[in-house]
Amino acid sequence: MSTENLQGQLYRSAPIAMEKEWIDYNGHLNMAYYNVVFDRGGDEFLAELGFGPKYAAERKLTIYTAEVHICYVQEIHLDHIVTVTSQLIDFDAKRLHTYNEIVHQDGWVAATAEVMSLHVDMNGPKVVPFPDDILPTLEFYKNAHSKLPLPARVGRSIGIKRK
């Protein structure tokens, strides 16, 4: 866990470059590849929380995505470099609630994703509680990220608002 200067800061992934195959006939990132970008950046955050490839290989425990709500805010093009920021909103014995943003290198937000994830025993597969040794890291991030403002898009639902 890298705790240097974390209090009040989001987790930020390594830079992610767009790949030519991800760009659609409209000249921008195809909607499916926003998920790929969120997955790559989100996997870095999960590893920071203790749920990386080694965790899965050694313990046969992992994280599955149960639900995602993506908002597409601004187009991403082939020459763009982005990072994914992640905020642990909440967790319970078996679930993680996170909020992520794809942030362009110039600082603007391209997309947001609110995610509900499950802790899974791959031998089942079945949803199981987090091991005791993982809980301090989750508590640390929940506490650190609770000092940040709750993002406006957290808890948002889809619907046509009528006047």
**CATH number assigned to the domain comprising residue 117:** 3.10.129.10
Q: State how beta strands 95-104 and 81-91 pair.
A: antiparallel
Rounded Cα–Cα distance for residues 116 and 65 (Å): 6
Sign of the alpha-carbon dihedral angle for 82, 10, 44, 3: positive
pLDDT digits (tens, 9 = 90+) for 54-87: 999 999 999 999 999 999 999 999 999 999 999 9
Question: What percent of the chain is helix, strand and coil (3-state, nearest 5)?
Answer: 25, 35, 40
SS3 16: strand
Cis peptide bond prior to 15, omega within 30° of 0: no
| Domain extent for 47 | 11-146
Q: What is the mean pLDDT of residues 21-36?
A: 97
Classify residue 157: in a domain, yes or no.
no
For the segment 79-108, what is each residue's pLDDT rounded down to a tens digit?
999 999 999 999 999 999 999 999 999 999
Are 119 and 94 in contact by the 8 Å Cβ rule? The answer is yes
The first and second tokens of residue 156, run together, are 């948002």
What's the pLDDT at 5? 44
User: Is the residue at 49 inside a domain?
Assistant: yes
- Across the chain, which distance is largest between two alpha carbons, in Å? 54
pLDDT above 90 for 32:
yes
Residue range 102-130, pLDDT digits in tens: 999 999 999 999 999 999 999 999 999 99
Give a yes or no: residue 154 inside a domain.
no
Residue 8: the pLDDT is 63
Name the domain count of the chain. Answer: 1
* pTM score of the predicted model: 0.92
